[in-house]
Structure 1
Amino acid sequence: MASLRVVTRMFCSAAETTTQTAAAPVKRSRWEALKNSKAGVWCRSLASDYKEACKEAVLGAWEKPLKATVYVTLLGGASARFYTSPDRSSLEAALLERSNQLGLLSPWIRNATSDGHVQTLVKVRNEGRLRHANLGLLSLVYCGNYDLDCALYEARCSNLSTPWLKFPERLLDVGFAGRWWILDSKMQDFDVNEDEYKHLPAHMQATSPPSVQEVERNEKLHKESWLPLSMEEEEKKDEQMVNTKEEVVSEENQAEQLQEEQTAN
C-alpha cells in the first residue's frame, strides 16, 4: 500500500507540473516578435541582399578601378544634368530678358533672325500654346495647336491631334545643362542687322578678327591719346601747318602766273 501511495503521489506531482508549464505563457519581447514576423524576415533578407550587393560593388571597383571611375562619372554627370535641367520658369525669365535686350534697340539695328524667333515664342506663349516637357536630362519646348483651356471638339478629340512624326516641326527650343540652346544661338549678334550689308561685296560682308599686331598698335595709340602734349610739339605742329599753307599758296600763285602768261600769249 505504501508503494502504491508513492506511485500515485509521483503521478500527481508530474501532472501538476505539466499543467503549470502548459498554463504559463511563453514571454517574448516585442522586438523578437517583430523580428520573427513575416515583415521582419522579409526586411532581414532584403538587407542581406543589399549588403552582399554593396560588397560585390566594392570588390569590383577595387579590382577594376577604371571601369568604376567611368561608371561613377557617368552617373554623376547624369545626376548633375537632371538637377540642372531648365524648367518653364527659366524659359519665361530667359524670354523676358531677351525681349528686353531687343526692345532697347531700334528696329533698324535688330537682327531679323533673333527678333523673329523671340517674337514667335512670345506670340505662342500669349496664345497659350506653349508646351514644356521635362525628360529628366533635358527639356523640350514645343508649340501646341490649341490652348489647354480650349473646349473645341478639335482640341479635345484625340483622333484629330497632331501625329508625333510632325513633332520636329513644332519644336521650338531644347533645354540642357541650365541653358536654352536654340534661343541662345538665335540671339548671337542680335544687334547686327545683316540686311544692311547685303549691297556690299562678299569680301566686305565678312569681317575677320584683328591680329595681335593691330591690337597692340591700337592699345598704344589709345594710351598715347591720354598723354599731355608738350609746347614744343604744339609749336612744331604749328610750324608744319604754316609751312604747308605757304607751300599751297605759292603753288596757287605759280599756277595763276602761268595762266596769265598763257592768256597774254
Structure 2
Amino acid sequence: MAAAAVGAGRGLWAWMARTRLGRWCSALLQDYAAALRETAQGARRRPLASAVTVAALGAVTACGASVPSADSFEAAAVEAAGSLLLLSPGTRSPDAERHVQRLLRRREAGRLRYRHLVLLAVVYEAPPGTGAGAQLYSSRCRYLRPPWRQAPARLLDVGFCGRWWLLRHRLRDCDVNEDEFRALPPRLRRLEPRQLRSEHNERLFLRKYEPAALGTGDQEEEEEA
C-alpha cells in the first residue's frame, strides 16, 4: 500500500512537470512556499511586531465573527419590551420606554433595515411606505427621499462584539423614572457611588433598629447640626 502511494506521488509530480497546467501549479506552490519561508524568517527577526500583528488579525477576525444578526436585534427589542412590562409605570424610565416602543412600531411597519459592515452591523429606519408590499411614490422618487444629513436621526442601533450598544445604553437604568427627580436641585439629581456607602448613611441606616428614646430629639438635632 505504501508503494502504491509513492507511485501515485511520483505520477503526480511527473504530470506537473510534463503539462502546462502542472507547471503553473508547481510554480504557484513554489511561490507560496517562498512567501511562507520569508514570513517565518521575518517573524523570527521581529517577534514583538509579529505578535502584535497576529493579535490584531485575531481581534479583527473575532469582531467580524461576532457581529450580531438581524434576528438577534428583533429578539433583543422584544426582550427589552418584556423587561419594561415587568416594571410598574411609576418606576419605568420614559426614555427607555419611548425608544423600545419606537423600535417595535418600526418593526411592525416593516421599516427596520439591517446592514452588515464587516466588523459591525447597523439597524436604521427606512422612510415610510418602503415595506415589502406597496410602496409610496415618495419612497421611490430620489428627489423626495430624506437627505443624507438626516442619516444620524434614522440610525437606530449599532451591533458590535455580539451586542446592540444603543439599546443596551437605553436600558441601563430602565427602572429609574427621571421625571420624579426633575424638581430637585441639580446637585441632588445625581449621586456618586461614594455617597451611597458613606459612614453617615450607614449610621442613619443602623439607627432605625435602635429603640426610640423620648425627650432626646432636640439633643440629637443639636448634635447633628
Q: TM-score range by the shorter chain?
A: 0.7 to 0.9
> CA offsets per residue over residues 154-201 of structure 1, 9 Å max, x none?
334455444444322211111101111111111111011110122223
The answer to whether the aligner puts 1:149 opposite 2:133 as a matched pair is yes
The residue type paired with residue 173 of structure 2 is D
1:173 to 139, 142, 157: 157
Distance 1:46 1:118, change over 3 A: same
Shift of 1:215: 8.2
2:80 to 98, 103, 106: 98
The answer to whether the aligner puts 1:71 opposite 2:53 as a matched pair is yes
User: Which residue of structure 1 lines up, in the alignment, with residue 220 of structure 2?
Assistant: none
User: What number of residue pairs does the alignment pair up?
Assistant: 199
Q: Which runs of 5+ in 2 are unaligned?
A: 1-9, 216-225
Q: CA RMSD in A?
A: 2.8
Q: Secondary structure at the match of 1:110?
A: coil
Matched-pair contact (CA < 8 Å) for 1:173–1:183: yes
The residue type paired with residue 87 of structure 1 is S
Normalising by the residue count of structure 1, what TM-score does the alignment of the two structures yield?
Answer: 0.66
- For residues 113 and 159 of structure 1, the distance between their equivalents in structure 2, rounded to whole angstroms, comes to 33
Matches within 5 A, 1:48-87: 48-87=30-69
Q: Secondary structure at the match of 2:134?
A: coil
Shift of 1:148: 3.4
Higher share of residues assigned helix: 1
Matched-pair contact (CA < 8 Å) for 1:129–1:148: no
The answer to whether the aligner puts 1:139 opposite 2:121 as a matched pair is yes
- For residues 142 and 117 of structure 2, the distance between their equivalents in structure 1, rounded to whole angstroms, comes to 22
The residue type paired with residue 126 of structure 1 is E
Distance 1:154 1:49, change over 3 A: same
Matches within 5 A, 1:169-208: 169-208=153-192
Percent identity between the aligned chains?
A: 38
The residue type paired with residue 41 of structure 1 is R
Shift of 1:212: 6.1
1:121 to 103, 120, 127: 103
Distance 1:41 1:159, change over 3 A: farther
Shift of 1:150: 3.0
> CA offsets per residue over residues 87-113 of structure 1, 9 Å max, x none?
111111211111111011222221111
Tell me which of the two structures has the higher relative contact order, counting C-alpha pairs closer than 8 angstroms and 6 or more residues apart. 2
Q: Secondary structure at the match of 1:173?
A: strand
Matched-pair contact (CA < 8 Å) for 2:16–2:25: no
> CA offsets per residue over residues 102-150 of structure 1, 9 Å max, x none?
0112222211111111111111111101000011110001011121333
> CA offsets per residue over residues 193-224 of structure 1, 9 Å max, x none?
110122223333222332364687699x5xxx
Q: Secondary structure at the match of 2:124?
A: strand
Normalising by the residue count of structure 2, what TM-score does the alignment of the two structures yield?
Answer: 0.77
The residue type paired with residue 80 of structure 2 is R
Of structures 1 and 2, the larger Rg is shown by 1
2:22 to 40, 57, 60: 40
Distance 1:38 1:216, change over 3 A: farther
Range with bigger deviation, 156-165 or 191-200? 156-165
